[in-house]
Amino acid sequence: MEQSLFTVKENIFINTNVFRMTLEGASSKGHKPGQFVNFNIDGCYLRRPISVCDSTDTTLTVMYKVVGGGTEILSKTKPGDTLDILTHLGNGFDVNADCSSPLLIGGGIGCPPLYKLAKELIAIGKKPQVLLGFNDPSEIILLKDFEELGVDITVVTKGFVTRADVFVNGNYDYIYTCGPIPMLKAIYDGSVVSGQYSFEERMGCGFGACMGCSCKTKYGNKRICKDGPVLVKEEIIW
């Protein structure tokens, strides 16, 4: 964990209350796919955790949905504004899992962390397929970004991602997924391969001190913000 000041480079409205923010700062380097950062927002007691969509040595990109007062304030920030951010938080995805053709499944605002994951899987010679689910075509995000990576991508806007042909009949040997709990549970119940599941959970401190986001696993209690948000399938208890 590092605490750093970042400068807003851009904060762009994408669709249906979703924004893409790119920041510049010295602590951008070294984020693992699936990790998150914690924003200090003026007027808010608790920081706001947001998953990392992409990062370089000098920039950090996140996507967030305006769902309350904190993210509403965040949506008003402009290029040149400075933000206090805790970085490199959480236990992210392990790209070195024993697989060659993983299926990446994202739901709604759970899709952004899968973009950096796909890039890193491709970089080490794996061939990810991508399945994204949204409630409505107007809510689709990152489609062009994934297409530019050259991955096979399926988008579902009606029904469940678990009914998509790529999930039911696809040739994949592992699953990486992030999204709402009902989606994760359906994927867990409907899949026969191992995988890594990134959980969305309300957090207090965001770095493991308050125990507010603890959950039971087969190997004892784990903190979603510290030991997660990514858990392996074999340890999950529903």
Residue 131 has what pLDDT? 98
Give the Cα separation of 223 and 202 in Å (integer).
11
Give the Cα separation of 94 and 97 in Å (integer).
6
- Report pLDDT digits (tens) over 29-84: 889 999 999 999 998 988 999 999 999 999 999 999 999 999 999 999 999 999 99
pLDDT-derived band of residue 205, with 50, 70 and 90 as boundaries?
low
Is it the case that residue 214 has pLDDT exceeding 80?
Answer: no
Question: What tokens were used for 105?
Answer: 């499944």
Give the Cα separation of 20 and 14 in Å (integer).
7
- Delineate the domains of the chain, giving CATH numbers in brackets: 2-89 (2.40.30.10), 103-235 (3.40.50.80)
Give the Cα separation of 194 and 216 in Å (integer).
19
- Report pLDDT digits (tens) over 150-204: 999 999 999 899 999 999 999 999 999 999 999 999 999 999 999 999 987 665 6
pTM across the whole model: 0.94
Q: What order of strands is seen across the sheet that includes strand 195-199?
A: 152-156, 129-133, 103-107, 175-179, 195-199, 230-232
- What residue has token string 């990576």? 149
Note whether 157 and 135 are within 8 A (CB): yes
Which segments of 90-183 are extended strands (E)? 103-107, 129-133, 152-156, 175-179
